[in-house]
Structures are given as C-alpha cells and as structure tokens.
Amino acid sequence: MTSRLSHVDDRGRATMVDVGAKEPMHRRAVAEGFFVARAETIDAVMNGRLPKGEALAVARVAGIIAAKRCDELIPLCHSLPIEAVQVDFERVDGGIRIVGSASVTGKTGVEMEALTAVSVAALTLYDMTKAIDKQLRIDGITLLEKTKVRVPQPDVG
C-alpha cells in the first residue's frame, strides 16, 4: 500500500477521483461513533422525561439527511443515489453508541455517507444536551465494515 493520497493527482492538486471506469456494484458501509455524556444526560436522551425517542428521532433524521448530502459536505466525495440509510442508538457504558449504515448501487463506496450520518447524529445530540451537560464529547468515529457485491444482471435472452 503506497502513501499516495487518493484525492490528489500527481502534481499535488486536489481532484475528484474519476470513477467512470469502475463497475457499478451494490456497496454498503457501516460506521460507528460514541456520544459521551454524564449518566443523567444519557437518561434524559434515552428514556427520561421525554416521550420515548423524540430526541433520538431528531438525531436520527439529522443523520439520515446528512448522509444524503454527504457530497455537499465533503468536497471531493461523489454524488450517489443512496438506496438506504439507517442510524441506530444503543446505550453503552458512559454514553450512546451510534451506528450508521448506508448502501448504494454505484461505482464508488458509501463509507463517507455512513461516517457522516454518525457524525451529524452525534452533533445533534450534542446540540440538544449541551445546556444540561458541560462535559460532552464525541469519540471513536470509525468505519466498521465495507462490502461490495456484483449486481446480478437482468436476464436478456
């Protein structure tokens, strides 16, 4: 594996990687991240005085929308007709684990879409709780898995 950055051409200029010659495949990516907060904060978000899920619903929607607009946020990222996005939350020790996944049938992967969904969902939780907790932190945003499978050709005979 060389250390040549994929988005920088041989003269060092930023460029979108040309994916024109790549095969359209069914691609999927899963990312995770952690919203770290005090236990009372997590309580308020997860199952506290709120109607179950409203805060999470807002963060989920924010993550899904952001995944669809990933190409606007990440300058050299391709526009892709995302086929599914999912954002889930799970209480873990010290915080909330956020898992985001995205899938597409296209010429390039959706890692950035999954990572963006997680990041923006986490930022949204940050926004909704920053008035009650001064020690919030977002940690461990990383790609968990990335798969691609060939698209079955329709019968043409």
Residues 69-128 that bind its own copies (CB under 8 A): 69, 71-86, 88, 103-107, 111-112, 115-116, 119-120, 122-124, 126-128
Give 83 or 91: the residue with its C-beta nearer to its own copies: 83
Which is closer to its own copies, CB of 15 or CB of 92?
15
**In the complex with its own copies, which residue's Cβ is closer, 5 or 93?**
5
Binding-residue total with its own copies (CB under 8 A): 93
Active site residues: 127
Cβ 105 to its own copies shortest distance, Å? 6
Closer to its own copies by CB, 93 or 131: give it. 131
How crowded is the C-beta side of 58, counted as CA atoms within 13 Å? 14
Residue 72, phi then psi, degrees to nearest 5: -85, -25
Given 92, 94, 97, 131, the residue binding its own copies (CB under 8 A): 131
DSSP 84: E
DSSP 3-state of 119: helix
> What letter would DSSP give residue 14?
B
Distance in Å, CB of 6 to its own copies, minimum: 4
What's CA 41's distance to the chain center, in Å?
Answer: 23
> How many other CB atoms are there within 10 angstroms of residue 135's CB atom?
8
The least distance separating its own copies from the CB of residue 157, rounded to whole angstroms, comes to: 7
Rounded distance, CA 76 to CA 87, Å? 24
Please report how close the Cβ of residue 31 comes to its own copies at its closest, in angstroms: 10
Site for its own copies in 37-66 (CB under 8 A): 40-41, 43-45, 48-55, 57-58, 60-62, 64-66
Output phi, psi for 21, to 5 deg: -90, -5
Q: How far is CA 56 from CA 67, 101, 137, 146, in A?
A: 16, 16, 17, 25
